[in-house]
Amino acid sequence: LTGNGILIGLIDTGIRYTFPDFLKEDGTTKLHSVWDQTQQSGQTPIGLPYGTVFSKEEINENLRQRENAQSVPLLLTDENGHGTKVASVASKAAPSAELIMVKCRQAKSYLRTYYRIPEAADAYDESDIVAALKYIHDISQQENKPVVIGITMGTNMGDHTGNSFLNIYLNTLTQERHHCIVIGGGNEGNAAHHYHGELTRQQPSQNVEIRVGGEMGGFVMDFWGGVPYIYTVTIRSPGGESIQWVNPQLRKPQEFTFIFERTRIIVEYLVVEQNSGAELVRFRMERPTPGIWTISVRTEVDVVNGSFDMWLPNTQFLESEVIFLEPTPYTTITEPGYVHRSITATAYNDANRSFYANSGRGYARDGYVKPDIAAPGVNVSTIMGSMTGTSMAAAITAGGVAQIMQWAVVDGNNVLADSFTMRNYVKKYNMTYITDKMCKTI
C-alpha cells in the first residue's frame, strides 16, 4: 500500500516543489496542481475569482527548463517552510499518492486589527480555507479519485463543539464518498489559554485570574456560557479599578475605559450564537496593563449545574505572554479539530511512547470524544530538518489514511468508504504499528 490512485490535498504555506521528495523516479512532479492564493497574475480556479493555479504540466515544464538553466524563475515558493515539511512527511508515508497544495494567503488587515494579531504572525482567513477545500473537492470530483484532505491550521476562537461555519462545511465534506478529512489537534495543551468554570447554588460566582506578562497592543478573549444561564462579568484591573458588564440583551458592543489605566475594553455579546446556540461574550482588550487581571463571573438566575469556558488566543497571536493562572488543560484542541466525522490527530513521542505535552487535549465542550488518534509528532524528520508538533502527526496520519483508502476504494475492499469509515478503521484497528513504520521511514 503506497497511496496509489489517491489524492492528498494540503492547505498550508505553499511548497518548494523542486525538492526530491516531490519528484517521481523519472524526474516529473508528484503534484497534481498547486493553487497559490497569493499570486493574482495567472489562471484562477473554476468558480473562484482569485489566485493562480499551476497545473502538473506547467510544473513539469518548469522543472525541465530548470534542468537546463538554473536561472529559470520558480513558479511559486514557500517562504515559511511549514507546508513543505508537512507535504514531505505525507508524501513519504504515501509515496504513490498525488499531492494537491493550496498556498493560503495571509488574513486581511482589518481582520488582524479586529483580532489584535501581530503583523509578524501567520494568520489565515476562514473563508480562504473554505475556498481551498472547495478547490480540492472539485479536483477529486473531476479526476474521480479518492482524496485525503489534511488541515494543519487551527484557532482557539470558536465554541469547541464543531459548530463553526468552517466545521459545518468540513462535516459536509466528510459525508462525501471517497473523502477523508485529517486535522491536526494544535499545540495549545500546555499554553494555559483555557479556563473552565462550574457554578452552583452554593457557589454562584467564580473569580478567574489572567496574567498579562508585558506591554502589548491587545488581545481577544472569548467567553462561552452554558445554556440556559445568563451571566454578568466584573473585571478588575491590576491597579484595582473595576468595571461591570451587565448582560444588556442587546447586540450593540459596549465600551469601557478606566480612570487610571489606559486600557480600553470592548464587549460584544450574543445571547444565542448562530451556529452553536450558546451564549458568547467576546472581550477585546486594547493596551492591557501588565499584571494580574481578575474576572468575576456570576449568573443572574438560580444555578443548578451551570458552566462556562474561556479561551485566550493561540500563542502565536499574542505579542507577550497572556495566561490563566489556574488553567484547564482539557478541551484545548484547536478549531476545526472538533468536526465529528473527521480524524483529529494529536502527537506523541515515538522514541519513548510518551504523550507530547503541548498537544491539544479533548473532550469537546459538549463531551464529544476528540481527538481520534495519537501519531508520532516529536522530532519527525522532514526534507527541511526535524519538526515537532501535531502538524507532523496529522501529516503521518494523512499518509496512513491514504494507504487505507487505497486498500478500501482502489483495491475494491470497501468502495463506499467515506471519512467516517476511515476514522473508524483507524480507531478500531491498531494504528500504532502503521505509524511507527512510517515514522522510521521518513
Mean pLDDT value across the chain: 91
Q: pLDDT tens for residues 178-192?
A: 999 999 999 999 999
What's the average pLDDT block by block, 10 residues per block, for the chain (442 residues)? 96 96 95 97 92 97 89 91 97 96 96 92 95 97 97 95 92 94 97 94 89 94 85 91 76 86 90 78 94 90 79 95 97 96 95 94 93 95 96 96 96 94 83 49 38
Provide the 3-class DSSP secondary structure of residue 94.
Answer: coil
User: Can you tell me which residue has the cell 529559470?
Assistant: 72
Report the alpha-carbon distance of residue 349 to residue 333 in Å, rounded: 18
Report the alpha-carbon distance of residue 365 to residue 223 in Å, rounded: 12
**Contact between 374 and 355 (Cβ < 8 Å):** yes
Residue 411 grid cell = 483495491
Provide the 3-class DSSP secondary structure of residue 89.
Answer: helix
Report the predicted TM-score, pTM, of the whole model to 2 decimal places. 0.92
What pLDDT does residue 76 have? 92
Report the alpha-carbon distance of residue 205 to residue 232 in Å, rounded: 9
Report the alpha-carbon distance of residue 233 to residue 300 in Å, rounded: 10
Cβ atoms within 10 A of the Cβ of 215, count? 11
User: At how many degrees (to 10) do helices 126-143 and 165-174 cross?
Assistant: 10
Q: pLDDT tens for residues 52-61?
A: 999 999 999 9
Residue 163 grid cell = 459548530
Checking phi first, is residue 218 left (phi over 0); if not, alpha (psi -120 to 50) or beta?
A: left
Amino acid at 61: E
